[in-house]
Amino acid sequence: MTQEIESEIETLEAAGGSKRSYSVPAAEKALDIIEFMAGQPDGMTLTELAGALGRSVHELYRVILVLEARGYLYRRANSDRYRISLKLFELAHQTPSVRQLTDSALPIMQGLAPAALQSCHLAVLSGHEALIVLQIESPLPMRYSVMLGAKFPFEETSSGVVIYAYSSPRVREQLDAWLRRGEHAESEIGQVAARAEATLKAGCEVKKSLAVTGVTNISVPIFDYLGHVVAALTVPYMPQRAATVPLEQVRDLALEASRAISSELGARNLALNPEPTGRKKA
């Protein structure tokens, strides 16, 4: 059977085609549903979803039932509105790279939060978005935290900008191209680049949150055994009377934690502000 498939692919490619030329309607419907529902936090009825995708209810009905049965979609009790579950997020966490990252970071972040008296979270780059893969709550009754699995445009977060700063030139070019496709002004792209260069000099970004007034983000890079940036550790510093650890000390604790996590991942001889892969020191 394998030889037959390989022969068919070779024949198709020889004719100037590609594997993507195959049409699998059921699979495409399922992916359309999952990708669209990912942006619908309030859920949708089958009729609403069919209208939004430009398909008939009959076309989607059986696919919806399968996705629900497999746990990708769910409905609350007595509701006909479908919502996307966290199954894809859970599957992603089962991949060796993410599992190793979160397993390595968890005990260190569990020590950071009480030492800093602040919450902290870990983000990775998913396409052009910063994806939260680990979150540890502050021990204080009043705290600020980010929902596990939340995604944000990379340029709107300190986590995303820190990963951008230490990424290879190729990755930075891809992210710049995405910003241009999103009709960001050149001045905005320049601001992201300026933040990245400042991050390289300081080894971290300490910046007032663009989303939450009163919160200052302290974000530091995480590296793997090859010296590649793989994540960013961020402490959303929220000042309050009970938070007795000053911001500068929290920054130092975050930097120490980033070195510890990177060391767990096999990184060695990291300076305070290591240069990104593919970039040479001036």
Q: Are 217 and 205 in contact (CB under 8 A)?
A: yes
pLDDT at 194: 96
pLDDT at 96: 55
The closest of 120, 204, 126, 105 to 158, measured between CA atoms, is 204
pLDDT at 82: 92
Domains of the chain, each with CATH number or no CATH: 2-85 (1.10.10.10), 92-264 (3.30.450.40)
Helix 46-53 to helix 25-37 angle (10° resolution) is 110
pLDDT at 269: 72
Quote the tokens at residue 220.
Answer: 């530091």
pLDDT at 197: 96
Q: Please tell me the distance from the alpha carbon of residue 227 to that of residue 262, in angstroms, as a whole number.
A: 9
Q: How far is CA 54 from the centre of its chain?
A: 29
Helix (H) or strand (E) holding 66: helix 57-69
pTM of model > 0.75:
no
pLDDT at 104: 94
pLDDT at 24: 83
Helix (H) or strand (E) holding 14: helix 2-14
Which residues does residue 194 pair with via DSSP β-bridges, in sequence order? Answer: none
Q: How far is CA 133 from the centre of its chain?
A: 7
pLDDT at 40: 85
pLDDT tens for the 282 residues of the chain, in order: 445 545 554 554 555 444 455 678 888 889 999 889 888 888 899 999 999 999 999 989 999 999 999 888 988 878 899 988 877 766 765 555 778 899 999 999 999 999 999 999 999 998 889 999 999 999 999 989 898 888 899 999 999 999 999 999 999 998 998 898 887 888 899 999 999 999 999 999 999 998 888 999 999 999 998 889 999 999 999 999 999 999 999 999 999 999 999 999 998 876 545 444 444 443
